[in-house]
Chains A and B, each alone.
Chain A
Amino acid sequence: MDPARPEDESGRSPGGRPHRRSHTTSADVARYAGLFAQRTSVMRSSAMRDLMEITSRPEVISLAGGLPDTSTFPPDSFAAQMTRIAQESSAKALQYGPTEGFAETREVIEEVMRAEDMRPDPGDIVVTTGGQQALDLICKTLLDPGDVVVAEGPTYPGAVPVFCSYEADTRQVEMDDDGMRIDLLEELLADLDREGRRPKFIYSVPTFQNPGGVTLAMERRRRLVEIAREREILIVEDNPYGLLRYAGETLPTLYSLDGGDYVLYVGTLSKILSPGIRIGWVCAPPPVRAKLVLGKAATDLCTSTLSQYFVREYFEEGGWLDYVDELRDVYRSRRGAMLRALASYFPRQASWSQPEGGLFVWATLPDYIDTTDLLAKALRENVAFVPGAAAFADGRGSGSMRLNFSAQTEEEIVEGIRRIGAVVGEQVGLYETMTGSFEVVRPEDEDNPSASSASRPGADGDPPTGEVLPFQRRPLRD
Chain B
Amino acid sequence: MRVAVLKGGRSLERAVSLQSGARVEEAVTALGHDVVAIDADERLVSRLKEEDPDVAFIALHGPGGEDGTVQSLLELLGIPYTGPGIGASVLCMDKVQAKHRMRAVGIPTPDWVAFGATAFRELGAADAFEEIEAGFGLPLVVKPAGQGSALGVRFAGDAGAVPAAIVGALSYDDRVLIERYVAGRELAVSILAGEPLPIVEAIPEQADLFNYEARYEIGRTRYVCPAVLDDAEADAVTAVALRTWEALGCAGFARVDVMLGGEGVGPQVLEVNSVPGLTDTSLLPIAAEAAGISFESFVERALELALGE
Chain B residues in 8 Å Cβ range of A370: 164, 167-168
Is the CB–CB distance between A374 and B171 below 8 Å? yes
Pick out which of these stretches binds chain A: B74-82, B209-217, B248-256.
B209-217
CB distance from B62 to the nearest CB of A (A): 11
- A373 and B171 form a contact (CB under 8 A): yes
B286 at the interface (CB under 8 A from A): yes
Q: Tell me, in angstroms, the Cα distance from A379 to B9 when the chains sit together.
A: 13
User: Which of the candidate stretches B85-93, B98-106, B118-126 sits at the interface with the other chain?
Assistant: B118-126
Which residues of B sit under 8 angstroms from A26, Cβ to Cβ?
223, 225, 280, 285-286, 289
Contact assessment for B294 and A430 in the assembled complex, using a CB-CB cutoff below 8 Å: no
Tell whether, in the assembled complex, residue B172 and residue A22 are in contact, meaning their CB atoms are under 8 Å apart: no
- On whether the beta carbons of A13 and B29 are closer than 8 Å, the reply is yes
**Could you tell me if A54 and B12 are in contact, using CB atoms closer than 8 angstroms?**
yes
Interface string of B1-42 (1 = CB under 8 A from A): 010000000101111101000010011011011110000000
Complex interface: chain B residues within 8 A of A51 (CB)? 12
Report B206 CB to chain A, min CB distance, Å. 11
Q: Roughly how many angstroms separate A51 CA and B212 CA in the complex, as a whole number?
A: 12
Q: By the criterion CB–CB under 8 Å, are A377 and B171 in contact?
A: yes
> A20 contacts which chain B residues (CB < 8 A)?
26
Q: Is B57 in the interface zone, CB < 8 Å from A?
A: no
The answer to whether A431 touches B34 (Cβ under 8 A) is no
Contacts of B169 in A (CB 8 A): 373
| Complex: A131 Cα to B14 Cα, angstroms | 31
Interface-lining segment among A42-50, A290-298, A318-326:
A42-50
A50 touches B218 (CB 8 A): no
CA distance A14 to B164 in the complex (A): 51
**How far apart are the CA atoms of A470 and B123 in the complex, in Å?**
9
**Closest approach, in angstroms, between the C-beta of B96 and any C-beta of chain A?**
19
A373 and B168 within 8 A (CB): yes
* Contact in complex: B285, A430 (CB < 8 Å): no
Segment 63-77 of B: residues with Cβ below 8 Å from A: none
- Is A450 close to B, CB under 8 A? no
Given contacts A47-B151, A427-B167, contact A36 B30 (CB under 8 A): no
Q: Which A residues are CB-close (under 8 A) to B120?
A: 430, 433-434
B167 touches A373 (CB 8 A): yes
Bound complex: CA of A33 vs CA of B205, how far in Å?
14
**A49-B172 contact given A2-B2, A22-B26, A41-B219, CB 8 Å threshold:** no
Give every chain B residue within 8 A of A373 (Cβ-Cβ): 152, 167-169, 171-172
| CB–CB A430/B14 < 8 A | no
- A15, A25, A434: the one contacting B295 at CB < 8 Å is A25
Judge if A192 is at the interface, Cβ distance under 8 Å.
no
Known: A2-B2, A434-B126. A14 touches B295 (CB 8 A): no
> Of residues B27, B152, B169, which shows the largest number of chain A Cβ atoms within 10 Å of its Cβ?
B152
A376 at the interface (CB under 8 A from B): yes
> In residues 294-327 of chain A, which contact B (Cβ within 8 Å)?
none
List the A side residues contacting B2 at CB < 8 Å. 2
Given A19-B29, A54-B10, A370-B164, A24 contacting B117 (CB threshold 8 A): no
Asked, given contacts A50-B15, A373-B172, A470-B121, whether A25 binds B289 with beta carbons under 8 Å apart, the answer is yes
Residue A430 contacts which of B151, B167, B286 (CB distance < 8 angstroms)?
Answer: B167
Asked if B163 lies at the interface with its beta carbon under 8 angstroms from chain A, I say yes
Query: A1-B34, A47-B213, A434-B120 are contacts. A24–B167 as well, Cβ < 8 Å?
Result: no
B197 at the interface (CB under 8 A from A): no
Q: Which residues of A contact B26 (CB under 8 A)?
A: 20, 22, 24
Number of chain A residues whose Cβ lies closer than 8 Å to a Cβ of chain B = 49
Contacts of B122 in A (CB 8 A): 470
Query: Pick the contact of A29 from B163, B168, B170, B280 — CB < 8 Å?
Result: B280
Contact with B along A167-196 (1 / 0, CB 8 A): 000000000000000000000000000000
Q: Is B97 part of the binding interface, using a Cβ–Cβ cutoff of 8 Å?
A: no
**Chain B residues near A32 (CB, 8 Å)?**
218
Q: Which residues of A contact B296 (CB under 8 A)?
A: 22
Let me know if A22 and B126 touch, CB within 8 A: no
Most chain A CB atoms below 10 A, which of B10, B18, B23, B29:
B29
Inter-chain contacts of B29 with A (CB < 8 A): 13, 17, 19
- Contact status A430-B212, CB under 8 Å: no
A50 with B12, Cβ < 8 A, contacts A13-B29, A376-B151 known: yes
**Is A5's CB within 8 Å of the partner chain B?**
yes
Closest to A437 in B: B163
A78 to chain B: which residues have CB within 8 Å? none
In the complex, what's the smallest C-beta–C-beta distance from B259 to chain A, in angstroms?
22
In the complex, A369 has a CB within 8 A of chain B = yes
Roughly how many angstroms separate A282 CA and B26 CA in the complex, as a whole number?
44
Contact residues in A for B121 (Cβ distance below 8 Å): 429-430, 433, 468, 470
Give me 10 other A-B pairs in contact (C-beta within 8 A), A50-B13, A435-B163 excluded.
Answer: A1-B32, A22-B296, A24-B26, A47-B213, A50-B16, A369-B164, A370-B168, A373-B172, A433-B126, A434-B167
Question: CB within 8 Å of A: which residues of B?
Answer: 2, 10, 12-16, 18, 23, 26-27, 29-30, 32-35, 117, 120-122, 124, 126, 129, 151-152, 162-164, 166-172, 212-213, 216-219, 223, 225, 280-281, 285-286, 289, 294-296
Pairs across A and B, CB under 8 Å, 17 listed: A13-B29, A14-B35, A20-B26, A22-B27, A26-B223, A26-B286, A27-B289, A36-B219, A47-B151, A50-B14, A53-B15, A368-B163, A373-B172, A374-B171, A376-B151, A430-B117, A470-B121
Give A residues with C-beta under 8 Å from B: 1-2, 5, 13-15, 17, 19-20, 22, 24-29, 32-33, 36, 40-41, 44-47, 49-51, 53-54, 57, 368-370, 373-374, 376-377, 379, 427, 429-431, 433-435, 468, 470-471
Top-5 shortest CB links A-B: A368-B164, A373-B171, A377-B171, A434-B126, A50-B15
